[in-house]
């Protein structure tokens, strides 16, 4: 996938998005309809050419607890002859390791969820099956693995959560419009950040700063150092940080927009805003090499890339979709509406070790 090497180009995306939107506007429900019939066509085509897809799927899912049940129920509605055994573990790193340790005798068929940074190395290590789903044509090349080992089907935007009560009392209700706003001394001791060493989100935050400063690492590290003065704690899990804001133990934290919305939806006294020049992640799905249920696995990949699946995931987890025709969650900005940095995913993955060590030395941890 050459795009990921060139780096994400927002203008290209906007053009594509615009084009899709135009077509959508013209055709009314057509794109959606054409998506559905194409999916249906695919399945009915499959149905027409061979027996309905059946088999047992062992799925390693990094999706949220609240997403799994509904999601796979819906999949089963589309593929009633496939039995799905889900191993839910909302920790993609652990799942990735598990897949590695099971190399000699894989116990899973599909790895779903978790950012593409976890799927990619597995592909390079030869632990995944190549598959280019027919439905992947609806997905921008940006979100796909050029070698075909994984495909991105959801997105997550990096935003900011704040505790309403304490924000208004202690900071005049001022949400950070840019990341630089967090350097304000009024944030001292009230800010927390997901630990960059232990969490994907934390690392993406650092990488975002680097891309924000146009790859000037020295400037980015300088920012992180000054930010460090305000950070009360680095939290070992991204969701864990949210709870602390819910409880009002601290005032604000950069974190995943979809998770923040979910917290807000639970009537917690918190709010979301998305500062300018932010980063995002792509959630992937891949097929494990050596799977004995290849057809069923492919079916799951196909289905995850449909609008139906995309809409469902948005509804369940407030995440975004890599499909242009899937509306974002209420309260969540569209990817296109957000001022994103030029996020070079490949570069970020390749330089992770070095950047984190650099950060640790800079900040003195």
Partner 1 sequence: MRSLRREPGVLLALLAVVVLVGAFIVYPQVRVILTPGDSYGEFFSGGTWRNSLLHSLEVMALSTASAVTLGFVYAYAMVYSDMRWKPFFRLIGILPLLSPPFVVAASYVILFGPRGLITYNVFGQTISIFGLGGIWGVQTIAFFPFAYQLIADVLSRSDARIEQAARNLGAGSWRVFRTVTLPLSRPGLGAAILTTAIYVLEDFGNPALIGGTFTVLPTQAYGLISGFGDLPGAAAVSTILLALALVLYFAKIRLDGPRSFVTVTGRASSMPRPPVAPAISWACFAACMLLAGIIALVYGSLVVSALTVAFPQNTALTFGNFEYITSGANGTALQNTLVYGLAAALLSSLLALVAGWLVERGRWTGRRALDLLLIMPAAIPGLFFGIGYALAFNEPWLDWLDRGVLIIISMIFWNIPVGYQAAVAGLRQIDRSLDEAATSLGASSLRGFRDVLVPMLGGSLRVGFVTTFVRAVTTLSVVIFLFTPSSTVATIRIFQLVGDLNWGRATAFTVADIGLAIVALGAVALLARGRIALGGARA
Where do contacts with partner 1 occur on this chain (CB under 8 A)?
A: 64-66, 85-91, 93-94, 96-98, 100-105, 107, 118, 121, 195-200, 202-203, 232-237, 239-240, 242-244, 246-250, 259, 262-263, 266-269, 352-353, 357, 360, 365
For the bound state, the minimum distance from the C-beta of residue 10 to partner 1, rounded and expressed in Å, comes to 27
In the complex with partner 1, which residue's Cβ is closer, 11 or 353? Answer: 353
For the bound state, the minimum distance from the C-beta of residue 111 to partner 1, rounded and expressed in Å, comes to 12
For the bound state, the minimum distance from the C-beta of residue 365 to partner 1, rounded and expressed in Å, comes to 5
Cα separation of 284 and 62, whole Å? 10
In the complex with partner 1, which residue's Cβ is closer, 49 or 267? Answer: 267
In the complex with partner 1, which residue's Cβ is closer, 170 or 184? Answer: 170
Contact 23, 31 (CB under 8 A): yes
335: nearest Cα among 270, 252, 278: 278
Contact 119, 149 (CB under 8 A): yes
> What are the start-end ranges of the H helices in 154-293?
164-171, 200-212, 217-228, 238-246, 257-265
All residues at 6 or more sequence positions from 298 whose CB lies less than 8 Å from its CB, including other chains: 131, 133, 287
In the complex with partner 1, which residue's Cβ is closer, 68 or 306? Answer: 68
- In the chain, beta strands by DSSP E: 55-61, 82-88, 110-115, 128-129, 150-163, 191-194, 231-235, 252-256, 270-273, 280-288, 320-321
For the bound state, the minimum distance from the C-beta of residue 207 to partner 1, rounded and expressed in Å, comes to 13
52: nearest Cα among 91, 81, 95: 81
Within the chain, how many helices (H) and strands (E) appear? 15, 11
In the complex with partner 1, which residue's Cβ is closer, 223 or 234? Answer: 234
Helix (H, G, I), strand (E, B) or coil at 79: coil
Q: What is the DSSP letter of 195?
A: -
For the bound state, the minimum distance from the C-beta of residue 242 to partner 1, rounded and expressed in Å, comes to 6
Cα separation of 195 and 198, whole Å? 5
* Radius of gyration for the alpha carbons in the chain, expressed in angstroms and rounded: 21
In the complex with partner 1, which residue's Cβ is closer, 52 or 121? Answer: 121
For the bound state, the minimum distance from the C-beta of residue 327 to partner 1, rounded and expressed in Å, comes to 23
For the bound state, the minimum distance from the C-beta of residue 265 to partner 1, rounded and expressed in Å, comes to 11
For the bound state, the minimum distance from the C-beta of residue 210 to partner 1, rounded and expressed in Å, comes to 17
By the 10 Å C-beta count (0-12 exposed, 13-18 middle, 19+ buried), 67 is classed as buried
All residues at 6 or more sequence positions from 58 whose CB lies less than 8 Å from its CB, including other chains: 85, 87, 107, 108, 109, 110
In the complex with partner 1, which residue's Cβ is closer, 61 or 306? Answer: 61
Contact 155, 340 (CB under 8 A): no
For the bound state, the minimum distance from the C-beta of residue 266 to partner 1, rounded and expressed in Å, comes to 7
In the complex with partner 1, which residue's Cβ is closer, 134 or 290? Answer: 290
In the complex with partner 1, which residue's Cβ is closer, 74 or 316? Answer: 316
């Amino acid at each position: 996938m050459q795009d990921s090497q060139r780096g994400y180009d927002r203008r290209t995306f906007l053009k594509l998005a615009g084009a899709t939107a135009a077509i959508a506007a013209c055709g009314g429900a057509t794109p959606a309809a054409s998506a559905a019939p194409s999916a249906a066509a695919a399945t009915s085509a499959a149905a027409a050419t061979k027996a309905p897809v059946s088999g047992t799927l062992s799925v390693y899912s990094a999706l949220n607890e609240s997403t799994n049940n509904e999601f796979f129920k819906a999949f089963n509605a589309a593929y009633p002859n496939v039995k799905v055994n889900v191993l839910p573990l909302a920790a993609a790193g652990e799942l990735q390791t598990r897949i590695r340790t099971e190399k000699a005798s894989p116990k899973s068929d599909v790895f779903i969820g978790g950012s593409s940074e976890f799927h990619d190395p597995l592909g390079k290590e030869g632990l995944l099956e190549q598959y280019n789903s027919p439905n992947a044509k609806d997905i921008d090349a940006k979100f796909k693995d050029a070698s075909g080992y994984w495909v991105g089907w959801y997105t997550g935007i990096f935003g900011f959560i704040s505790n309403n009560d304490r924000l208004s009392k202690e900071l005049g209700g001022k949400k950070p419009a840019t990341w630089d706003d967090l350097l304000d001394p009024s944030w001292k001791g009230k800010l927390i950040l997901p630990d960059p060493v232990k969490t994907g989100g934390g690392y993406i935050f650092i990488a975002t700063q680097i891309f924000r400063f146009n790859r000037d690492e020295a400037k980015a590290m300088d920012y992180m150092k000054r930010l460090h003065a305000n950070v009360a704690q680095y939290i070992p899990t991204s969701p864990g940080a949210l709870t602390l804001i819910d409880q009002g133990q601290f005032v604000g934290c950069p974190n995943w927009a979809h998770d923040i919305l979910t917290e807000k939806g639970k009537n917690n006294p918190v709010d979301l805003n998305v500062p300018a020049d932010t980063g995002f992640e792509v959630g992937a799905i891949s097929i494990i090499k050596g799977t004995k249920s290849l057809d069923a696995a492919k079916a799951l990949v196909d289905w995850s890339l449909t609008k139906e699946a995309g809409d469902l995931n948005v509804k369940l987890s407030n995440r975004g979709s890599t499909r242009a025709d899937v509306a974002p969650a209420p309260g969540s900005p569209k990817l296109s509406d957000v001022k994103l940095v030029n996020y070079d995913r490949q570069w970020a993955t390749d330089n992770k070790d070095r950047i984190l060590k650099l950060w640790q030395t800079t900040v003195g941890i």
